């Protein structure tokens, strides 16, 4: 194992949407700047979700205007609907836009209705409109929630996930995040899905986005890597999941912890390209701002591969 992986730090969006405490715009900017200093090639900075539904991101424009962008890093904003893309375009025109935007679908009808307040057909129509609106001005990141299992509908057929990936590709969206939203994936199901994805849709860059609801996220990341995946999402301290007002998460839903994922890859000789000391500093800052100890083992024990 040697090929470098590309990790997107998702604390500032997928992480903070789960938090009940209020984080100031200044604190969010300081966090994103710390992630930039650590060398993350991709950072999920904010969301253009409706402030009425997800008030944590009412300051999306101020965040993008305030961060210190690092050359070589891309900054992503989530866009759940065409109105959000119009906001992203307005910020881009104002000189402080995102480099990437996420376009959301769900693998199941039940989750689509609960999370996006629409149907799958209607959301795919939204995605097509969003792609047209974006007009090539951002890197577009498709997102498929519940790709490895759904709390409402149970197992998800890999064929339907592959069909969604192909549908994104037909729209010109060739980077797609495959999300285990509530931690139903196992190493065998992950390896099988990603192996098929790599073989059947080589034009798609798959991004592994795994939550640790059942303690399998690290093993699932390694399984995806072994199947050929090189792009990963994670969040410092294992924070995140669904928005805090949504109650279907079956308990803890946090992302795979960045510190632990980086330790695993580096220990296996897989280059992350990150400054590990700066990552530790960012980890401590995240805990200080949230005011509690977060769920990263490595934050407590240090990097294992450095002990020798």
CATH number assigned to the domain comprising residue 242: 3.20.20.70
What does 68-82 look like in DSSP terms, one character per residue? -PPTT-EEEEEE-SH
With cut-offs at 50, 70 and 90, classify the pLDDT of residue 240. confident
Tokens of 242: 């669904």
User: Is 177 contained in some domain?
Assistant: yes
The answer to whether the CB of 69 falls within 8 A of the CB of 95 is no
Residue 120 to residues 59, 115, 156, 248: CA-CA distances in angstroms? 29, 11, 15, 19
pLDDT tens sequence across 190-212? 999 999 999 999 999 999 999 99
Confirm whether 274 is domain-assigned.
yes
Mean per-residue pLDDT, 156-165: 97
- Alpha-helical segments (H) within the chain: 25-38, 60-66, 82-93, 109-115, 120-134, 158-170, 187-200, 217-226, 258-267, 276-290, 297-301
* pLDDT confidence tier of residue 274, bands split at 50, 70 and 90: very high
Instruction: Give domain status of residue 1, yes or no.
Output: no
| Alpha-carbon gap, residue 72 to 187, rounded angstroms | 32
DSSP structure class, residue 150: B
Name which of 138, 136, 158 is nearest 149 in CA terms: 158
Could you report the per-residue pLDDT of 55-110, keeping only the tens digit for each?
A: 889 999 999 999 999 999 999 999 999 999 999 999 999 999 999 999 999 999 99
Backbone angles phi, psi at 74, to 5 degrees: -115, 140
User: Residue 6's beta-bridge partner residues?
Assistant: 231
Residue range(s) defining the domain that contains residue 86: 6-306
How many domains in the chain? 1
Cα 53 from chain centroid (whole Å): 19
Instruction: Tell me how far apart the alpha carbons of residues 90 and 195 are, in angstroms, rounded to a whole number.
Output: 39
Q: Which two tokens stand for residue 256?
A: 């795979």
- State residue 19's pLDDT score: 83
Contact (Cβ atoms closer than 8 angstroms) between residue 63 and residue 46: yes
Residue 78 lies in a domain: yes
Say yes or no to pLDDT of 307 above 80: no
pLDDT score for 160: 97
């Amino acid at each position: 194992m040697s090929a470098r992986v590309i990790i997107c730090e998702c604390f500032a969006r997928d992480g903070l949407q789960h938090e009940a405490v209020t984080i100031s715009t200044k604190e969010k900017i300081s966090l994103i700047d710390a992630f930039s200093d650590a060398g993350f090639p991709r950072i999920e900075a904010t969301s253009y979700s409706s402030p009425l539904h997800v008030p944590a991101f009412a300051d999306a424009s101020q965040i993008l205007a305030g961060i210190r962008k690092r050359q070589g890093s891309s900054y992503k904003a989530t866009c759940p609907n065409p109105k959000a893309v119009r906001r992203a375009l307005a910020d881009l025109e104002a000189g402080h836009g995102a480099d990437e935007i996420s376009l959301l679908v769900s693998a199941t009808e039940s989750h689509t209705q609960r999370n996006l307040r629409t149907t799958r057909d209607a959301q795919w129509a939204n995605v097509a409109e969003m792609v047209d609106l974006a007009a090539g001005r951002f890197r577009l990141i498709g997102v498929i929630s519940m790709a490895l299992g759904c709390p409402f509908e149970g197992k998800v057929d890999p064929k339907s996930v592959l069909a969604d990936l192909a549908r994104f590709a037909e729209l010109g969206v060739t980077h797609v995040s495959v999300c285990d939203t509530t931690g139903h994936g196992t190493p065998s199901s992950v390896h099988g899905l990603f192996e098929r994805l790599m073989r059947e849709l080589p034009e798609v860059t798959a991004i592994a986005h795994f939550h640790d609801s059942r303690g399998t996220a690290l093993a699932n990341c390694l399984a995806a890597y072994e199947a050929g995946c090189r792009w990963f999402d994670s969040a410092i301290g294992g924070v995140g999941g669904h928005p805090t007002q949504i109650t279907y998460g079956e308990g803890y839903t946090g992302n795979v912890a960045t510190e632990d994922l980086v330790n695993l890859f580096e220990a296996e000789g897989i280059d992350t390209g990150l400054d590990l000391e700066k990552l530790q500093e960012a980890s401590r800052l995240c805990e200080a701002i949230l005011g509690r100890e977060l769920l990263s083992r490595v934050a407590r024990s240090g990097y294992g591969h450095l002990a020798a």
